[in-house]
Structure 1
Amino acid sequence: MLLLLAAALTGLTALVPWLTVETVTVLGEPRTVTVAGSSAAPSLVAVTLVLLAAAGAAALVGRAGRWVVVGVVALAGALVVVDGVGVLRSPGSAAAPSVADELGVERVVEDVAVSAWPWVAVVVGALVVLLAVWLARASASWAVGRRHEGASTTVPAGGAAPAPLDERDQWDALTRGDDPTDGPDGPGRQGP
């Protein structure tokens, strides 16, 4: 749920206006250009999608996969921080492509009003990195699904009969192509 919340916050920062530029057209008409977060820092949309995918993956993968998810989440958060800081350090450069699209000509953009949203993005990115750290610590205590860990179907040592299969084991056997009803009396029959 926290990854979904992080994705929603990152997506929100991508949608809102980050920069406002007062400029003039080639004909001398005043024009106000508003630059959304997705234009000032284009990777925010990709990070949002990555966090959504990580939320689903965290619930499905095994132990090794969770470490991959943690690494991806940490990198995604760091990218949001870097993008936010980059816009704050050079708002004119971040606004220039949008201004060029709006006016049809490239020009140097100097007078840029910066909203609070780049700062919010930096905070959200830092929180995503902290969320990755929390995931690394918390995932150690999560139950591990047998499906993604390569569960073994060998007979226990000493020749003892295997424990009866529960419903989940039967579905896993079907997924592997095995007949879960194969008992000691032959295919398709349960034991006595």
Structure 2
Amino acid sequence: MTGASTAGSRAAVTDGPARRGRWVLLLLLAAALVGLVALPTWVVAEGSSALEDQVRVAVAGSQVAPQASAAALVLLAAAGAAALVGRAGRWVVAIVVAGAGVLVVAAGVAVLADPSGAVTGAVAQATGVAAGAARTTTTPAPVAAVVVGVLVVLLAAALARARGAWRQGSRRHERPGATGSGPAPAGPADERSDWDALSRGDDPS
């Protein structure tokens, strides 16, 4: 019975770092997916300018929805925080991750709902005409962004409900001896040295 309890306690001790490492990897993967989904073209607009009858403008997700790229950076920071925080900090990380996922979903939905409005600046810069006068077509990338954002929110929920040990990260940067019992007591005074100092007129104290 004692051996079983000892094995269980050892498993609980080693379970924390293992679980933490898996979550850090999952958060890094989520950041990579969000960053990748923001790279391709989200909206293709076709309009006319004073010099050309037809101008085709391809607008990438990083341009039409910069909040998606920002969410990828937030997830990278969350992965770094997850490697260091304790159990209470894990909840903060989960909330941040959920917010990043909602941001990605909102970016994709906004582009799908109004692609012309999303590319107004890019089309006007390329053609010199308003985006409303141009024909716009969305690619599958905004839909993929919505899916990835939902997965990030689910990852945040799973992180908040994670079981097992979740101890504070490494303390190697703490001052040495911070947890000790204090400075070592001074050794016994050398009486001969004290008398020598008094004979020279010095104060041995």
The normalised TM-score by structure 2 is: 0.71
Alignment deviations for residues 39-69 of structure 1 (CA, whole Å, 9 cap, x no partner) = 1211011101000000010110122211111
Q: CA deviation at 1:84?
A: 0.5
What code does the residue aligned with 1:40 have?
V
Q: How far apart, in 2, do the equivalents of 1:187 and 1:105 lie?
A: 84
Q: How far apart, in 2, do the equivalents of 1:12 and 1:98 lie?
A: 21
2:64 corresponds, among 11, 35, 40, to 40
* CA 1:107–1:147: 2 relative to 1, 3 Å: closer
Q: Which has the higher contact order (CA 8 A, sep 6+)?
A: 2
Which residue of structure 2 lines up, in the alignment, with residue 143 of structure 1? 166
Which residue of structure 2 lines up, in the alignment, with residue 27 of structure 1? 51
Number of equivalent positions: 163
Q: CA deviation at 1:107?
A: 4.1
Runs of at least 5 residues in structure 2 that lack an aligned partner in the other structure: 1-24, 188-205
Runs of at least 5 residues in structure 1 that lack an aligned partner in the other structure: 149-167
User: Residues 84 and 170 of structure 2 are in contact (CA less than 8 Å); yes or no, is this contact kept in structure 1?
Assistant: no
User: Residues 92 and 109 of structure 1 are in contact (CA less than 8 Å); yes or no, is this contact kept in structure 2?
Assistant: no
Which residue of structure 1 lines up, in the alignment, with residue 21 of structure 2? none
Which residue of structure 2 lines up, in the alignment, with residue 53 of structure 1? 77
Percent identity of paired positions between Structure 1 and Structure 2:
50
Which 4+ runs in 1 deviate beyond 4 A?
Answer: 179-183
Q: How far apart, in 2, do the equivalents of 1:135 and 1:87 lie?
A: 29
* CA 1:186–1:133: 2 relative to 1, 3 Å: same
Q: CA deviation at 1:105?
A: 4.5
Which residue of structure 2 lines up, in the alignment, with residue 186 of structure 1? 185
User: Residues 30 and 152 of structure 2 are in contact (CA less than 8 Å); yes or no, is this contact kept in structure 1?
Assistant: yes
Q: How far apart, in 1, do the equivalents of 2:158 and 2:133 lie?
A: 41
Report matched runs for 1:38-187 at 5 Å.
38-138=62-162, 140-145=163-168, 172-174=174-176, 178=178, 180=180, 186=185
Alignment deviations for residues 97-138 of structure 1 (CA, whole Å, 9 cap, x no partner) = 111122244342552111100000000000000000110111
Which residue of structure 1 lines up, in the alignment, with residue 7 of structure 2? none
Question: Does residue 1:12 correspond to 2:11, yes or no?
Answer: no
The normalised TM-score by structure 1 is: 0.75
Aligned residue for 2:47, secondary structure, equals strand
Larger radius of gyration: 2
Which residue of structure 2 lines up, in the alignment, with residue 163 of structure 1? none
Aligned residue for 1:29, secondary structure, equals coil
Aligned residue for 1:144, secondary structure, equals coil
